[in-house]
Amino acid sequence: MTRAHSAGPASTLFLGVDAGNSKTAALVSTATGQVVGAGRSACGDIYGAPTPEAAVAEVLAAVREALAQAGADLAVVKAAAFRLAGIDWPEDRTYWDQALTRHCPGTLTRRTILNDGYAAIRCGDPGGVGISVTGGTAAAIAARGPDGKLWDMGWWSQHAMGATGLANQAFRAVLLAELELGPPTALTEALLTHYGKPTVAALNHWLTRREGHATGQERNSCARVVTAVAAAGDPVAVEIIRAQGARFAQYAGVAARRTGLTRADRPVSVVLAGSVLMAEDSPVAEALLAELPAHVPGAVPLRGSLPPVAGALLDALAEGGVPLHEREVADAVSARVTATMPPREFLAT
């Protein structure tokens, strides 16, 4: 891994953590926003890891790597923001709170623990007001209103989105086409080629058999195939993309209504994040943006230059007393974070 720009050991540091299913990332910085350490590990979602304890171990591994790179330890962390996939219910937050207390006794006492959907909000508005729409392995949507009210999608979503949603809908379309219950689609040949299967029956068997079936990562690996087939004009794939974009926009509208953002007399920052929405020329992002104004009046969409873990770090800075609500301070800190981030490859999935 390429080292972040180091400023040497610091007496006061701030920690931001963004944990998802594909990876966990951690950043530490000084109060000016200079990133002095970065760490990365595997799945930090207590719902997605083999066990909740395994998720905790991955999050702590990323934190320790970031601190080691900074030449520091937990004792110098003034404030920490944990933005973790799988913080969906109060007991999830309690689990993490107890785990951090147990593993980090006497440290990280100034910390917040929220769903990973909140991580990207400050990547748009450093003041922390707005909506984040993340489409990665799955989807995470969260909002913070002008009065500080929070809402995140969690288990309220009734539609699979992100790479999982694209894959599931593509498999469904191919199987229905094979049964002559749906229209023929170029997705059939594309998926058979992608997975190296000779027939749809062989693909179905591999996806669903009791032993040796496809892993979640293998299933989701076809998401880029789906977007490519849609870009080539296949009507079935185009409809899958359109429907996914519309769903993202609809849930963003729920987030806006639940946090008072539709009543605010101001533009609404909507930050897009995650591999599905941040891919170059993402058709899902295009479909989302086409639908967004109907659901979030005043939406100002931003495809952030900063990754969600940087937003988590900005949360930690704000919660630790750095006045990011002041525009001049926010601009300076955000610029420093941007300039000292680890290379883009460090966060690639």
The domain limits of the chain are: 13-124+305-347, 125-303
Look at phi and psi of residue 133 and say left if phi exceeds 0, alpha if psi is from -120 to 50, else beta.
beta
CA-wise closest residue to 46 among 132, 136, 113:
113
- Tell me: pLDDT of 11 over 80: no
Q: 13-124+305-347 domain in CATH 3.30.420.40?
A: yes
Beta bridge partners of 268: 299
Q: DSSP 3-state assignment of 72?
A: coil
- Residue 246 pLDDT: 98
Residues 296 and 145: their CA atoms lie apart, in Å, by: 13
* 303 φ/ψ angles, rounded to the nearest 5 degrees: -100, 90
- Residue 263 pLDDT: 82
- Residue 346 pLDDT: 87
Cβ neighbour number for residue 10 with a 10 Å cutoff = 20
- Tell me: pLDDT of 157 over 50: yes
Q: DSSP 3-state assignment of 139?
A: strand
Task: Give the rounded distance of the alpha carbon of 31 from its chain centre.
Answer: 24
Domains 13-124+305-347 and 125-303 share a fold: yes
Q: Tokens 């520091």 belong to which residue?
A: 72
Looking at CATH, the fold of the domain delimited by 125-303 is given as Nucleotidyltransferase; domain 5 (3.30.420)
Percent of the chain predicted with pLDDT > 90:
90
CA-wise closest residue to 144 among 330, 325, 346:
325
Beta bridge partners of 61: none
CA-wise closest residue to 93 among 113, 116, 112, 117:
113
- Residue 101 pLDDT: 97
- Residue 266 pLDDT: 85
Taking each helix axis from N to C end, the angle separating 162-178 and 200-208, rounded to the nearest 10 degrees, works out to 130
- Residue 9 pLDDT: 46
Detail the DSSP E strand segments found in the chain. Answer: 13-19, 24-29, 35-41, 77-84, 111-115, 130-135, 139-144, 150-152, 268-273, 299-303
pLDDT digits (tens, 9 = 90+) for 37-54: 999 999 999 999 999 999
Confidence band of 286 (pLDDT split at 50, 70, 90): very high
pLDDT digits (tens, 9 = 90+) for 62-102: 999 999 999 999 999 999 999 999 999 999 999 999 999 99
- Tell me: pLDDT of 253 over 80: yes
Residues 317 and 202: their CA atoms lie apart, in Å, by: 52
- Residue 6 pLDDT: 45
- Residue 304 pLDDT: 66
Can you tell me the mean pLDDT for 204-208? 98
Can you tell me the mean pLDDT for 228-238? 97
Percent of the chain predicted with pLDDT > 70:
96
Is this model's pTM higher than 0.85 or not?
yes
Residues 79 and 254: their CA atoms lie apart, in Å, by: 30
Q: What is the CA radius of gyration of the chain?
A: 21
